[in-house]
Structure 1
Amino acid sequence: MSLLTAVLYACLGVYLGGWYLGQWHGNFSLVLFLLTIVTLAYWLAERFHFKPQRERAAAQLAEQDAQRRAALAGQGIAQVDGNVEEARQKLLMQPWWLDWTAGLFPVICAVFLVRSFLFEPFKIPSGSMVPTLLVGDLILVNKYHYGVRLPVINTKVIDNHSPQRGDVMVFRYPLDPRIDYIKRVVGLPGDEVAYLNKRLSINGQPVSMESLGDYYDEDSRRYAQLYTEKLGDVEHRVLTNKEVPPFMLAIDSFPFRDQCRYNAEGVVCTVPEGHYFMMGDNRDNSQDSRYWGFVPEQNIVGKAFLIWMNFGNLGRIGTFFQ
């Protein structure tokens, strides 16, 4: 069993190492699920086989020692050498491969359940959501806000709130579901979303925008134009860059591509049923639904709401956003 455990940990190390080095995309939910199952198997084996086996061996040793002492006492020998208690404790001691499997099961199981059904941490890798979210922000995502989903397969089993315009949502990238994206919900099913000349309209109604002047983006090291924008009840800030033309080039083919019309001014799309139109707050530095299409409901991961850490900017810790 110790060899098997060593092999399992070696495989895990290779997988995580390749993931970290970018050799392949990882699926952390699947890894946690498999670790939970494997450590549960070890925990059950420890609880019902290995621990009783060690206890029987320790009891047998104690019984043999008691018999030996009784026999020597019958011969008039009262002083007997040997510390059977030390040997007994060694027999009862859990081996390393059970410490690192069965011993970790409660922790791994708790992490798996919290991450799958309550809150999941994410790191912001790009500037597509500046100024709301900065590169390096570590955020929490509410996994049950849009309904309870089974881990790994992401199938909804309990319904809850529907996504609303203005929500900051994490979802699986439609063109590669192994990758998680974060954008803002702009269009709901049935909406006509127009982004023309860098102005957003929903169902023919221009979205309210108010200029706040210039904004210096530290990541791109350039100035952009900062606005407040109101989507539904959510007021947030967005950036545009006057040096970037409004024209955009979409991916040649994506589901419901015929629902979008592109021209030199931008794009107009009608959102299909069961899908959502997503955009980054950094409008001229965001690959989003304008380029690769709509997000299906089954790709939803959860609603982002809190910055819990940023090692480069500790002042952002504890910031709730919308």
Structure 2
Amino acid sequence: MRENSVSRWVRFGIVSLIFFLWVAWLGNWWVALAWILLFDIYITGYIPFTWWKKSKNATVRAVMSWVDAIVYALILVYFVFTFVGQNYQIPSSSLEKSLLVGDYLWVNKMAYGPRVPFTPIHFPLVQNTFPILNTKSYLDSPQWKYHRLKGLGRVERGDIVVFNFPAGDTVAVKIQNPDYYTLCKMYGRDNVLSNPQTFGEIIYRPVDRRENYVKRAVGLPGERLKIVDGVIYINGEPIEQPEMVQFNYYYQLKNGRMSDETFDALGISTDDRHMVPVGPDDVEALRQLGFTVNPDGTVPQVYASPLTSAMVKALEADPAVAKVMKMPATHEEYLYPEGVSSSWTRADYGEIWIPAKGSTLRLSPEAWQRYGRVIRDYEGNPSARLGEDGKVYIDGKPVDTYTFKMDYYFMMGDNRDNSLDSRYWGFVPEDHIVGRPERVLISFDKDRSLFDGGIRWNRILNSISN
């Protein structure tokens, strides 16, 4: 045993205190056995972790000093990203204007309690795939059971939440958007499985290695949700819309075309400035809808964009604008749950009950259509199926009821007509919840150059209001 200074014992005492507080938070005292390793690192020194410091080779000392620093940094990042928080980028417009494409967020994992990793052996700086190498950044084994540590609160309605994409459990490597289940609806499951040259290898991803999504929680466990003309009803009562909620609209100027300056003033991003093609067969229908048709039969340009209520009012108040009309939803979308939602649209959806932990559901063929994926895939009953006799079987035995093991949430984007959310792929299980975005770290506008407004300075370190 080596000689140790008082300061080393003090450092060891502080580290030990932090370690045991962390073990108590984990609630798994077997982990406390790792304290023996800490004791050796700080006090006894039997394991020669710092052998390289005594090397006579200067190159070895130089290289190993960098390796030592990098390893310590990665271990620190691993623990911070797992138990405290992590940065995430907003890649899509599903939450505009609340969050913008190009926002980099700090996500607080302690808000709802951090999860003990399902996949403990993973590289902390990437989600599931090493860039360039294009290989998995984690090991499939071991896999730990779901356990969430005590957090500061629970998911509340209106919270913006980061979560692992539930339908990302199975992935066609070459075509990951749309998701595997949508691909199967579009092309047929057998076709997807038998054409690896088109769709790539079909792989399974553990819960915590699935892609991260960010949406707003609109439906909570045990509630009944329905959408009527874009308005969300919970247990039969309408809920308040987020201030920056958007819906798709058609709009038309009386003459000419919309300038970039006008688009910018309205806050319509470049990607959302859609010019609607109009053919001769469309003219009469547009006239009946109130759009301007010139005496010669030509039609001034019609546009389509997602707009907030404030943007709609600005357009309607503009004397140069001839018409503003909300875009109707169609029945030509794949909505959840399949087999039940054929008459629903994204704007008129449901009613559907959101499963809650401890709630018991009476099983029937219709109940299986609505909740079969939840029972089989999310609740860990891979043998669950609907028999030809109309009964549900779990582990080969017929069951009349099922009691849910987890809470579930219904998530939607604020850009309502341009958000792939729970209306399309279903509920978010509690074990998929990652955390709550707290601040915008930095924000980049991809429509502008870096030195011409490319950095949104007014958003840096902004608090995110839920």
TM-score by length of 2: 0.44
Question: Residues 141, 299 of structure 1: CA spacing in aligned structure 2 closer, same or farther, 3 A cutoff?
Answer: same
Question: Residues 316, 47 of structure 1: CA spacing in aligned structure 2 closer, same or farther, 3 A cutoff?
Answer: farther
Matched, 1:316 2:459: yes
Matched, 1:102 2:245: no
Question: Residues 292, 103 of structure 1: CA spacing in aligned structure 2 closer, same or farther, 3 A cutoff?
Answer: same
Question: Residues 101, 295 of structure 1: CA spacing in aligned structure 2 closer, same or farther, 3 A cutoff?
Answer: same
Cα distance, 1:261 vs. partner? 7.8
| Number of aligned residues | 231
**Aligned position for 2:102:** 136
Question: Deviations 1:64-89 (Å, cap 9, x if unpaired)?
Answer: xxxxxxxxxxxxxxxxxxxxxxxxxx
Cα distance, 1:135 vs. partner? 0.5
Mapped to 2, the partners of 1:300 and 1:166 lie a distance apart of 15
Mapped to 2, the partners of 1:217 and 1:165 lie a distance apart of 28
Q: 2:344 aligns with which of 259, 263, 266?
A: 263
1:144-293 alignment, distance < 5 Å: 144-153=110-119, 155-160=146-151, 161-177=153-169, 178-209=210-241, 216-218=267-269, 219-221=271-273, 223-227=305-309, 242-245=326-329, 247=331, 249-251=333-335, 262-263=343-344, 266-268=348-350, 269-273=352-356, 274-293=407-426
Mapped to 2, the partners of 1:48 and 1:251 lie a distance apart of 58
Contact 1:147 1:156 in 2 (8 A): no
Q: What do you get for the CA RMSD once the two structures are aligned?
A: 3.3
Cα distance, 1:304 vs. partner? 1.1
Unaligned runs of 5+ in 2: 1-36, 120-144, 170-209, 250-265, 274-303, 311-324, 357-406, 445-453
Question: Residues 187, 196 of structure 1: CA spacing in aligned structure 2 closer, same or farther, 3 A cutoff?
Answer: same
Mapped to 1, the partners of 2:242 and 2:62 lie a distance apart of 65
Cα distance, 1:51 vs. partner? 4.4
Q: Could you tell me which amino acid in structure 1 is paired with residue 87 of structure 2?
A: P
Mapped to 1, the partners of 2:52 and 2:441 lie a distance apart of 46
Q: Alignment identity in percent? A: 32
Question: Residues 292, 51 of structure 1: CA spacing in aligned structure 2 closer, same or farther, 3 A cutoff?
Answer: closer
SS at match of 1:169: strand
Question: Residues 91, 253 of structure 1: CA spacing in aligned structure 2 closer, same or farther, 3 A cutoff?
Answer: same
Cα distance, 1:252 vs. partner? 6.5
Unaligned runs of 5+ in 1: 1-39, 59-89, 229-240
Q: Could you tell me which amino acid in structure 1 is paired with residue 112 of structure 2?
A: Y
Contact 1:198 1:246 in 2 (8 A): no
The structure with the larger Rg is 1
Q: 2:81 aligns with which of 88, 92, 115?
A: 115
TM-score by length of 1: 0.62
Cα distance, 1:108 vs. partner? 1.3
Cα distance, 1:102 vs. partner? 2.1
Question: Residues 104, 294 of structure 1: CA spacing in aligned structure 2 closer, same or farther, 3 A cutoff?
Answer: same
Q: Could you tell me which amino acid in structure 1 is paired with residue 349 of structure 2?
A: V
Question: Residues 166, 210 of structure 1: CA spacing in aligned structure 2 closer, same or farther, 3 A cutoff?
Answer: closer
> Deviating runs (4+, > 6 A) in structure 1?
210-214
Cα distance, 1:136 vs. partner? 0.4
